[in-house]
Amino acid sequence: MMSKLISRILVALCACLCAGLLRAAALPQDHPVPGGIALVDLPTQSIAPRAEFFGHRVMVLRTYAGWLAVVGIPLTATPGVKTLEYRDASNQRARLTFTVQAKHYREQHLTLDNKRMVEPTPDDLKRIDEDTRRIKVALAHWRDSSAVNPLLAPPIAGERSDSFGARRFFNGQPRKPHSGMDIAADSGTPVTAPADGVVIDTGSYFFNGNTVFIDHGQGLITMYCHLQSIDVTPGTALARGTRIGAVGMTGRVTGPHLHWGVSLNQSFVDPSLLIDDTKSP
């Protein structure tokens, strides 16, 4: 009888350890810096709390330990203590805090032959304004889903740059920090969906070129820019690995590559924090 009891205890302990490993393996990296991700434990309750950061709804996942908020931190965030708001089981508003650490991003200097990509014309600026509004609408899309997988397969195989967050200078002129990961590949290389999702928009943009946006649920949006071709249409449901287009060099580029953007709660974050390299592109 005693040996059976000990055996059950060992099995239970093993299950707990495995659960902890599964929890760690199924989550993005906790890296609370500008452009990073903060994993914030929420109080245990029967239904998922609704969490918000900077007024934007945040992904909440069920884990073996309870509820967890997966918070995207904008590149513009300043270091220091930040507040995450949520509603508890009685629908009362409550707050938790976490600390954003400082991070220094490198500078990136690029030379473009197409001067309009550095100094747009008045007509170009009108188009850019419309592009900006359209991108904001795509990133603000929210689809409730209890089966979100926050880990993503690489959309293509290729050399990944460390340019996310880099302070960019085009022909010597400063521009906004780089908000995605550049992956080098030959023109025509297939680009595939990194997780199940729904296409929410496609189109041609002044700076981004041919672009696809995919909604993976709970505010996780991925963006694919500079494509040579687009092979999906808005509203299409995708399985991980489905071809969405091909690598190109449309828009503001110096050569063929994929610009891959990942947004959480309307903030672009470092895609490397969510990549699962065990899943082939």
- So where are the chain's domains? 28-100, 107-273
| Secondary structure (H, E, C), 235-248 | CCEECCCCEEEEEE
SS3 225: strand
* Position 16 confidence tier, pLDDT thresholds 50, 70, 90: very low
Cβ atoms 227, 274 nearer than 8 A = no
Helix (H, G, I), strand (E, B) or coil at 218: coil
Q: What is the pLDDT of residue 61?
A: 94
Tell me whether domains 28-100 and 107-273 share a fold: no
- The 167-170 sheet, strands edge to edge: 107-110, 167-170, 173-174
- Tell me which range, 9-18, 120-129, 172-181, is most confidently predicted by mean pLDDT: 120-129
Measured between alpha carbons, how far is 281 from 269 in angstroms, rounded to an integer? 20
Q: Are 257 and 182 in contact (CB under 8 A)?
A: yes
Residue that wins the pLDDT comparison between 108 and 64: 64
With beta carbons less than 8 A apart as the criterion, state whether 224 and 211 touch. yes
Q: Is the pLDDT of residue 182 over 70?
A: yes
pLDDT at residue 280 in the model:
66
E strand residue ranges, 152-272: 159-160, 167-170, 173-174, 181-184, 190-192, 197-205, 209-215, 220-230, 237-238, 243-247, 257-264, 267-269
Secondary structure of residue 139 in the 3-state scheme = helix
How far does Cα 195 stand from its chain's mean position?
A: 12
Please tell me the predicted confidence (pLDDT) of residue 281: 65
Please report, as a single letter, which amino acid is at residue 116: R
pLDDT digits (tens, 9 = 90+) for 227-256: 999 999 999 999 999 999 999 999 888 889
The predicted structure's pLDDT at residue 96: 95
pLDDT in tens, 27-44: 999 999 999 999 999 988
Identify the weakest region by mean pLDDT among 6-20, 119-133, 202-216, 253-267: 6-20
* Per-residue confidence (pLDDT) for residue 113, from 0 to 100: 73
CATH code that applies to domain 28-100: 2.60.40.1590
> What is the spatial distance between Cα 101 and Cα 45, in angstroms, rounded to a whole number?
29
Average pLDDT over residues 57-85: 95
What is the model's pLDDT at position 249?
Answer: 94
Closest CA to 225 of 236, 234, 213, 237: 213
118 pLDDT above the threshold of 50: yes
Q: What pLDDT is recorded for position 116?
A: 74
Q: What percent of the chain has pLDDT over 70?
A: 89
Two tokens, residue 272: 């490397």
Is residue 174 very low, low, confident or very high in pLDDT (cuts 50, 70, 90)? Answer: low
Predicted local distance difference test score (pLDDT) of residue 181: 95
Point out the least confidently predicted range of 7-16, 104-113, 196-205.
7-16
Mean per-residue pLDDT over the chain, rounded: 87
- Give the model's confidence band at 21: pLDDT under 50 very low, under 70 low, under 90 confident, else very high: very low
d(CA 35, CA 165): 7
* End-to-end Cα distance, the chain: 51
- What is the pTM for the complete model shown? 0.87
Which of 261 and 167 is assigned the larger pLDDT? 261
Single-letter amino acid, residue 156 = I
CATH C-level class of 107-273: mainly beta
Residue matched to tokens 């025509």: 188
